[in-house]
């Protein structure tokens, strides 16, 4: 793992603009001033157990109260709310069934071709119960892992909640991953069932999913998988394997509409979600029930300052953590109305997002900087055609947002009246960690501002010592929080080493570091600079360079591969691969296409390199380590700076330049 924080963006360092919350907004908000925020920070710091315990009791419904708030006696393995019993599907549904909320819209769904469905809390509860009963009928019980490989259809959210209802952890695999990537995850998680769809509509095309599941399961590759539940979405004929595959509409619709929620221990697994790291295969991040429930619930309430009349829309895919925490669990736990969209802006409908905001009178909109930059490029004339006066709050997530995109978002989409919350967090953190609070925090374009109450974030050096203001360092969290990941599925050692042992303070305390560089300015605002490890962030999608390299090296023509990220105006970063070929193989356009296709097959289209460069050799140290720093400079056309004295063969550099 190489650690050189080189992602400094000059324009960010110069940023002077400050946007305080309007008086109007502040007066209506839960956390309505910086002094209220500071008081909460202080309370959390003085007595964290009381702080979290009070929220857990007042904000969640427990089947049995917990005995203790936090057990941190065996760090980095935390136990939150031990002794308690709870069910997150019941917190997201059943508790809203009394009174008028039962008839409130829980989920509004829009299909890409324009078909639409909506569910009140009462209706969603029934659908989830039916699905939970269907899973039971398939022999799934508490503790069995169920994989979801789904398009953005309501059944994806329903299936997640149904799994949670019966205590079967889910593992959602993004529908854009290939069958090979799906297979790896099914094997690693020992999934007992897969829920999928025949296909999906995406950018005016039909994309099939079921054949990828068939391919992943072929030749008995995943012996743990006993059944496959298939949603009919595109009506294409797909192969159904008798005894293994079941249509959703045949199995689910006939089930009873009552299903008692399984009483779950606080620390029972809720889900496993795979994400990329700097080494090895993707890791299964484990989240457990009560802590995650509290964290997704509280953060959603705080950062969006949710009100009963809000219509909230997050454009993420349920295959990522943002979809888990901020399409499904956070909004529903708060009794909010959440919008889900199958499609994306596309040439035939570049205003698709704005049309939906206008149609459903969306008041809170949460999207990724990469989308904002793409809209910016095509100009304001498209959004200007729509009435977006319903919006009151905008959020961004997934990658650093450049001040220009932030300003455009605020101005063109938010009509200069909506605060922008830039939310920093990760799959591992379960929910947002650093973000403005819309009624309290004066924002600066490009800064995620301050840690949420109870989150002790810092910027430190490699010994864990806080660095000076305006100096770059590692972004760390110094105290456990309820939504923290509990482990990596099947690999406690990797959990320890990757997150808790990279930075070892002299006092022996455990601090969490997951790969980002940051700095704090003189006003204590956090500026997240991006990854400082070998993970790249392409359009908000997190990819490990090593995963892409392994995919490339598995091609018969490739001898060695090194993959680096190159700054990209639209995508944040793009993938550049440097390759040496096996003897006798010839570099040509056909091979470039083949390699690209090969990566698509091994991982998914999102991992295809933007550029592939061939060379006789790669720059290495004398001990044989590839010098990525040099490759990064070469990929972005920069001068190779810094020490090159450890380079084994300096002539390699000259060859790569040409």
**List of residues contacting ligand PRX (CB under 6 A):** 275, 320-322, 397-400, 422-427, 448, 514-516, 528, 530-531, 537, 542
Distance CA 491, CA 537 (A): 24
Smallest gap from residue 420 Cβ to ligand PRX (A):
11
> Please, what is the minimum distance in Å from the beta carbon of residue 537 to ligand PRX?
6
> Smallest distance from the beta carbon of 119 to ligand PRX, in angstroms?
26
Q: Which is nearer to ligand PRX, 36 or 606 (CB)?
A: 606
Minimum CB distance to ligand PRX smaller for 129 or for 418: 418
Nearest-approach distance from CB 285 to ligand PRX, in angstroms: 8
Closest approach of Cβ 487 to ligand PRX, in Å?
16
Nearest distance, CB of residue 121 and ligand PRX, angstroms:
27
Q: Tell me whether residue 120 or residue 338 sits nearer to ligand PRX (CB atom).
A: 338
Cβ atoms of 300 and 395 within 8 Å: the answer is: no
Nearest approach in angstroms of CB 281 to ligand PRX is 16
Residue 654 burial (C-beta neighbours within 10 Å; 0-12, 13-18, 19+) = exposed
Asked whether 526 and 517 are in contact (CB, 8 A), the reply is: no
Name the closest residue to ligand PRX (Cβ).
427
User: Which token pair is 330?
Assistant: 């956070």
DSSP 3-state of 380? coil
Residue with Cβ nearer ligand PRX (3 or 136): 3
The answer to whether the beta carbons of residues 328 and 340 sit under 8 Å apart is no
The position carrying tokens 């008086």 is 23
Q: Which is nearer to ligand PRX, 225 or 459 (CB)?
A: 459
Distance in angstroms (rounded) separating the CA atoms of residues 187 and 298:
34
Query: With respect to ligand PRX, which residue has the nearer C-beta, 162 or 448?
Result: 448
Residue 59 C-beta: closest distance to ligand PRX, Å: 22
Cβ closest to ligand PRX, residue 161 vs residue 448: 448
Q: How near is the Cβ of 500 to ligand PRX at its closest, in Å? A: 16
Residue identified by tokens 């070469």 is: 634
Distance CA 410, CA 402 (A): 13
Contacts of 493 (CB under 8 A, 6+ apart): none
DSSP class per residue in 194-235: EEEESEEEETTEEEE-HHHHHHHHGGGS-TT--EEEEE-SS-
Quote the DSSP letter at residue 604: B
Angle between helices 545-553 and 589-602 (to 10 degrees): 120
CA 87 – CA 91 distance, rounded (Å) = 6
End-to-end CA distance of the chain: 28
Q: Are 7 and 530 in contact (CB under 8 A)?
A: yes
* Residue (106 or 536) nearer to ligand PRX, CB: 536
CB 414 within 8 A of CB 391: yes
- Return d(Cα 187, Cα 147) in angstroms, integer: 11
Relative orientation angle of helices 179-189 and 589-602, to the nearest 10 degrees: 30
Distance CA 420, CA 304 (A): 10
φ, ψ of residue 292 in degrees (nearest 5): -65, -40
Q: Which of 512, 629, 501 is nearest to 565 (CA)?
A: 629
Residues 649 and 646: their CA atoms lie apart, in Å, by: 9
- As measured in angstroms, the least distance from the Cβ of 415 to ligand PRX is 22
Which CB atom, from 4 or from 257, has the smaller least distance to ligand PRX? 4
How many CB atoms are located within 10 Å of the residue 551 CB?
27
- 484, 486, 488, 494 alpha-carbon torsion, rounded to 10°: 90
CB of 547 to ligand PRX, least distance (A): 13
The residue (of 357 and 535) whose beta carbon lies closer to ligand PRX is 535
Minimal distance, residue 365 CB to ligand PRX, in Å:
15
* Residue 536 C-beta: closest distance to ligand PRX, Å: 10
C-beta of 528 vs 546, nearer to ligand PRX? 528
The least CB distance from residue 355 to ligand PRX, in Å, is 25
Taking the complex as a whole, the smallest distance from the CB of residue 66 to ligand PRX amounts, in Å, to: 27
Q: Cβ atoms within 10 A of the Cβ of 69, count? A: 20
Give 162 or 563: the residue with its C-beta nearer to ligand PRX: 563
What are the start-end ranges of the E strands in 143-208? 146-149, 170-172, 193-197, 199-202, 205-208
Quick check: helix, strand or coil at residue 272?
strand
Question: Which residue's CB is nearer to ligand PRX, number 169 or number 530?
Answer: 530
Residue 487: both structure tokens together: 């482990």
Q: Which of residues 76 and 515 has its CB atom nearest to ligand PRX in the complex?
A: 515
Q: Give the nearer residue to ligand PRX in terms of CB position, either 485 or 612.
A: 485
Helices vs strands, H then E, count in the chain: 21, 30
- Contact yes or no for 135/144 (Cβ under 8 A): no
């Amino acid at each position: 793992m190489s650690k050189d924080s080189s992602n400094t963006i000059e324009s960010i360092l110069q940023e002077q603009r400050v946007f305080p919350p309007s008086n109007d907004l502040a007066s209506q908000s839960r956390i309505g001033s910086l002094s209220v925020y500071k008081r909460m920070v202080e309370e959390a710091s003085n007595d964290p157990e009381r702080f979290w315990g009070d929220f857990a009791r007042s904000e969640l419904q427990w089947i049995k109260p917990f005995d203790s708030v936090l057990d941190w006696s065996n760090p980095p393995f935390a136990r939150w709310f031990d002794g308690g019993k709870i069910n997150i599907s019941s917190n997201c549904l059943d508790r809203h069934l009394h009174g008028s909320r039962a008839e409130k819209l829980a989920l509004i769904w829009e299909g890409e071709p324009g078909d639409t469905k909506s569910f009140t809390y009462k209706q969603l509860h029934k659908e989830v119960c039916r699905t939970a009963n269907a899973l039971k009928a398939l022999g799934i019980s508490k503790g069995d892992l169920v994989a979801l490989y789904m398009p953005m259809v309501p059944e994806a959210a329903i299936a997640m909640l149904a799994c949670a209802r019966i205590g079967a952890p889910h593992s959602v695999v993004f529908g854009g991953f290939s069958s090979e990537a799906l297979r790896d995850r099914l094997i690693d998680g020992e999934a007992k069932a897969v829920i999928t769809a025949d296909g999906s509509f995406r950018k005016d095309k039909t994309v099939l999913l079921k054949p990828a599941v068939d391919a992943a399961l072929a030749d008995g590759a995943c012996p743990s998988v006993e059944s496959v539940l298939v949603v009919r979405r595109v009506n294409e004929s797909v192969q159904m394997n008798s005894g293994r595959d079941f249509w959703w509409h045949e199995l689910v619709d006939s089930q009873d509409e009552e299903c008692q929620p399984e009483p779950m221990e606080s620390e029972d697994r809720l889900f496993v979600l795979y994400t990329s790291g700097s080494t090895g295969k993707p890791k299964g991040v484990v989240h457990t029930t009560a802590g995650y429930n509290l964290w997704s619930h509280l953060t959603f309430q705080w950062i969006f300052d949710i009100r009963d009349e809000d219509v909230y829309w997050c454009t993420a895919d349920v295959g990522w953590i943002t979809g888990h925490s901020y399409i499904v669990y956070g909004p529903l736990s708060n009794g909010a109305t959440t919008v889900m969209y199958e499609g994306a802006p596309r040439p035939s409908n570049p205003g698709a997002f704005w049309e939906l905001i206008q149609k459903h009178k969306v008041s809170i909109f949460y999207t990724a900087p990469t989308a904002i930059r793409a809209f910016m490029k095509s100009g304001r004339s498209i959004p200007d055609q729509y009435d977006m006066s319903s919006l009151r709050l905008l959020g961004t997530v997934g990658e650093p947002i450049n001040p220009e995109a932030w300003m455009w978002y605020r101005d063109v989409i938010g009509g200069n009246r909506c605060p922008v919350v830039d939310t920093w967090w990760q799959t591992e953190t379960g929910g947002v960690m650093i973000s403005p609070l819309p009624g309290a925090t004066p924002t600066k374009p490009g800064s995620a501002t301050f840690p949420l109450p109870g989150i002790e974030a810092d910027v430190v050096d490699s010994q864990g010592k806080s660095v000076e203001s305006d100096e770059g360092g590692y972004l760390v969290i110094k105290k456990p929080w309820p939504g923290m990941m509990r482990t990596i599925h099947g690999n406690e050692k990797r959990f320890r080493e990757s997150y808790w042992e990279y930075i070892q303070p002299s006092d022996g305390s455990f601090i969490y570091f997951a790969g980002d560089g940051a700095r704090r300015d003189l006003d204590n605002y956090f500026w997240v600079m991006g990854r400082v490890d070998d993970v790249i962030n392409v359009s908000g999608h997190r990819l490990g360079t090593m995963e892409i390299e392994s995919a490339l090296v598995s091609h018969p023509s490739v001898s060695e591969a090194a993959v680096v990220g190159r700054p990209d105006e639209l995508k944040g970063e793009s993938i550049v691969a440097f390759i040496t070929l096996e003897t006798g193989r010839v570099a040509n356009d056909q091979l470039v296409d083949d390699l690209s296709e090969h990566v698509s097959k091994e991982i998914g289209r999102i991992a295809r390199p933007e550029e592939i460069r061939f060379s006789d050799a790669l720059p290495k140290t004398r001990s044989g380590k590839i010098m990525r720093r040099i490759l990064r400079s070469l990929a972005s056309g920069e001068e190779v700076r810094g020490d090159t004295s450890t380079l084994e063969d300096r002539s390699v550099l000259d060859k790569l330049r040409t």
